[in-house]
Amino acid sequence: MKPSILLCGAFWIMVTSPVPAQPGHPEEFQKRPNIILIVADDHARQAVSAYDSTLIRTPSIDRIAEEGLLFSNAFVTNAICGPSRAVMLTGKYSHKNGLRDNRDRFDGDQPTFPKFLQETGYQTMVIGKWHLRSLPQGFDYWSILPGQGEYYNPRFIRLGDTVRLTGYVTDLITDVAIEALRARDSSKPFCLLYHHKAPHRNWMPNIPQLELFNDRTFVPPENFFDTYATRSRAAAEQEMEIGQHLFDGFDLKLPIEYVRQSGRDTAIVPGWDAVGAWAATLRSLTDHQRQAWERAYGPENMAFVQNPPEGRELALWKYQRYLKDYLRCVVSLDENVGRLLAFLDSEGLSRNTLVVYTSDQGFFLGEHGWFDKRFMYEESLGIPLMVRYPVGIEAGSKSDALVLNLDLAPTILQLAGVPIPEDVQGKSLVPLFQAEPGVPWRSSIYYHYYEYPHGWHAVKKHNGVRTDRYKLIHFYDDIDAWELYDLQTDPHEMINLYEDPGHQEVVGQLKRELQKLRTQLGDEEEESETK
Ligand SMILES: [Ca+2]
């Protein structure tokens, strides 16, 4: 065990915090903090105004950063849903926690941070998205969405019993979370995993947001019509283009009769009944909900059906519909985060509660022409990450350290005063809570994506390394291709420099770094899988 992690969190805060102790409240420095881990699903940094206010304002989420610490270089180790959640729970890479892709089932018998907290006196709860196939372990209370969950009138599995609630999923997850906090055992610190479905596909907004942005036309990213020149065929061979791979019904909400007649949706993902899924979703709405939807989408849908755009115009039409629905879901998410923060204020809990906001990965909002995630490119690799902990973090702090979702478990354990097990691969972020220069930190991150050829969107297996300036990616399996990007001169990753004579030294350094990380982290399986 490393010496630094023997320090209990509360003690560490007492000895190193530059935040002065509040007169009359010395006891709060002795307390174990409450913990709330907010995880959105597929929430891109481009849609969090603390990072970028071009598309949208997210005042409640931003509040966490304004009153705490914003990480500008936070990433995932494997940009896909279930695997990222498993990484957060265990502090271990996918090859160690066993959940490499969404097909795998999480082995709930393994150690997780909620289990350690529960064993050491925390009241532990998980509410909302879970998506790990096995049921939660290590929680005193849980109420989770089955699988991907539903936006309207969703089912929850509450301590093993399935119940269906009427309403909108983001509101309901918040209602259940606040209810659970009200009913908590206040003699114990609590740890709440507050996990949203939004803004995951199929981006169904809540009724109050259905017509939001109707008067706006969003400007697509400059590389929306990317031709994938200079890159390996991995980029060109994906199946996640807004222009081609969104379902007309399930994703774009075009009328079901039109979708049935065109027959296009049935060919996009063979074996998945996209039309049936959309019809079932519409049937699950109440009369009131269906009428609101008809009012909101009806006129624009009618105009589309009467005169369908083609070619580039069609791709741009899809981009507007996709992005607006995505952002509408984010607005509701932001409002509900605001509700939870207001509840903490009203209960006097804000000061001694660590609040973390993040997403299970980033997302493409039209960059390279795409939706979805998976690639090691910046938009899906990067995540929003901000932490608020007034006892130990000065408001308005910022960090550009290379941090990972892998680091959340050890961070939470340290703050809770629980020794971090030696086999945890993440690093506690607590040393970064104080804006002191010279904190020893990692200079590169390691990434590995596995879901190919099974699974959706045809993104090839790849691993890679990213430093503060460069990124080297190796696509393997039915391909053997390398890509190198200079993020300083090419932040949108359009120019693959792998073959560039001027970059061979960098290539060599990064290959050595990649090999070093794979050895250190015990991830040597790639060769045996390469065909
Ligand atoms: Ca996700």
Q: How confident is the model at residue 531 (pLDDT cuts 50, 70, 90)?
A: very low
Q: What is the pLDDT of residues 137-185, one digit of tens each?
A: 999 999 999 999 999 999 999 999 999 999 999 999 999 999 999 999 9
DSSP bridge pairs for 449: 462
What is the rounded average pLDDT for all residues in the chain?
93
CA of 171 to the centre of ligand 1 (A): 19
CA of 372 to the centre of ligand 1 (A): 9
Rounded mean pLDDT, 7-20: 37
What is the amino acid identity at position 260? R
More confident residue, 455 or 97: 97
Rounded mean pLDDT, 179-205: 97
CA of 257 to the centre of ligand 1 (A): 30
CA of 366 to the centre of ligand 1 (A): 17
CA of 253 to the centre of ligand 1 (A): 21
More confident residue, 18 or 370: 370
CA of 76 to the centre of ligand 1 (A): 11
Q: What is the pLDDT of residue 2?
A: 34
Q: What is the pLDDT of residues 385-418, one digit of tens each?
A: 999 999 999 999 999 999 999 999 999 999 999 9
Query: In this prediction, what percent of the chain has a pLDDT beyond 90?
Result: 91
Q: For residues 9 and 417, what is the distance between their CA atoms, to the nearest angstrom?
A: 5
Look at residue 24 and tell me whether its pLDDT is greater than 50: no
Q: Measured in whole angstroms, how far is the alpha carbon of residue 491 from the centre of its chain?
A: 21
Tell me which of 85-89, 261-265, 446-450 is least confident. 261-265
Rounded mean pLDDT, 101-114: 96
Q: What is the pLDDT of residues 250-286, one digit of tens each?
A: 999 999 999 999 999 998 998 899 999 999 999 999 9
CA of 380 to the centre of ligand 1 (A): 10
DSSP H or E stretch at residue 526 = helix 526-529
By the 10 Å C-beta count (0-12 exposed, 13-18 middle, 19+ buried), 148 is classed as: middle
Look at residue 130 and tell me whether its pLDDT is greater than 60: yes
Look at residue 16 and tell me whether its pLDDT is greater than 90: no
Indicate the pTM of the whole model.
Answer: 0.94
CA of 450 to the centre of ligand 1 (A): 15
Q: How confident is the model at residue 18 (pLDDT cuts 50, 70, 90)?
A: very low
Q: How confident is the model at residue 8 (pLDDT cuts 50, 70, 90)?
A: very low
CA of 361 to the centre of ligand 1 (A): 6
Rounded mean pLDDT, 370-376: 98
Mention every residue, 6+ apart, whose C-beta is less than 8 A from residue 45.
51, 52, 362, 379, 382, 383, 384
Look at residue 525 and tell me whether its pLDDT is greater than 80: no
Q: What is the pLDDT of residue 20?
A: 35
Q: What is the pLDDT of residue 526?
A: 62
Q: Measured in whole angstroms, how far is the alpha carbon of residue 240 from the centre of its chain?
A: 18
Q: Measured in whole angstroms, how far is the alpha carbon of residue 459 from the centre of its chain?
A: 18
CA of 501 to the centre of ligand 1 (A): 38
Q: What is the pLDDT of residue 13?
A: 40
Rounded mean pLDDT, 286-305: 98
CA of 200 to the centre of ligand 1 (A): 6
Rounded mean pLDDT, 412-437: 95
CA of 456 to the centre of ligand 1 (A): 13
Q: How confident is the model at residue 344 (pLDDT cuts 50, 70, 90)?
A: very high
Look at residue 204 and tell me whether its pLDDT is greater than 90: yes
Rounded mean pLDDT, 225-244: 97
